[in-house]
Amino acid sequence: MSSLSGSAEAARAAAVVPAFNEEKTIAGIVRTLKAVRGIDEVIVVDDGSEDGTAAAAAAAGADQVLRLPENLGKGGALARGVRATSAGILFFCDADFLGLMPAHVERLLRPVREGRKAMEAGERDRGPLLAPLLARLPHISGERALRREVFEGVPPRFLARFRVEIALEYYCEVNRLAYGAVPTVGIAHVRKMQKVGFVRGLAAYAAMIWQIADAFVRVRLAKKEFIRSDEK
């Protein structure tokens, strides 16, 4: 690859959307991402869905729809989507967002594209009680822009399921890369209870919280694995 083409790839941005049974919302997400200035490619990873997620994404204009034969979880689906593009800038987006607008995406992309940040996450309004607490914790939101090397620098074993956000943030922290979060006012998402019922939704939330808490501890115990080779 020539330096010119390499530079062009580094400047390209691809949106990667992991989706599991999100037939009702995926089309709106795809159309929003296609309207974003600076997004060159929209990739939807159908993570073993049992509904019409893949067909809805394709009909909405996704550039690539990757159908996984079994559910790998969020981290595995993101990794599959990243491998499908050579773009140097990535935008990760949950498939069940409500109220996502191009301006939200552009605001997250801007500091990464300009080289001011290695990663920028969205910070949704959680209300007056939770907001002060969550502001002190790692950002686990599903919308974030990042340089490709951040994702590729995380040890693969820490990209599993919902551990991925913790691992990405810790990679930036350990390697002293600039990262942060900005408010994404107006974005909500379909709650798990609405998708699968109260009992299954509660179990899914419990599993997610456990994976995040587990990752928070494990990444710190594996600090040396996160340090870039040029920093060791």
Domain ranges of the chain: 3-226
Token code pair at residue 91: 């935008």
- 153 contacts 226 by C-beta, under 8 angstroms: yes
More confident residue, 127 or 33: 33
Residue 98 host element (H or E): strand 97-98
Q: Which fold has domain 3-226?
A: Spore Coat Polysaccharide Biosynthesis Protein SpsA; Chain A (3.90.550)
Decide if pLDDT at 194 tops 70. no
Task: Residue 68: count other Cβ atoms within 10 Å of its Cβ.
Answer: 17
Question: Span 134-150, mean pLDDT?
Answer: 78
Confidence of residue 198 (pLDDT cuts 50, 70, 90): low
Over the chain, what is the mean pLDDT?
Answer: 85
Q: 62 pLDDT band (50/70/90 cuts)?
A: very high
Distance CA 46, CA 157 (A): 21
For residue range 79-135, what is the model confidence (pLDDT) as tens digits?
Answer: 999 999 999 999 999 999 999 999 999 999 999 999 999 999 998 655 545 445 445
Instruction: Return the pLDDT at 231.
Output: 61
Residues present in the chain in total:
232
CA atoms of 160 and 131, how far apart (whole Å): 27
HSE-CB of 67 using CA atoms within 13 angstroms: 11
What pLDDT score does 2 carry?
46
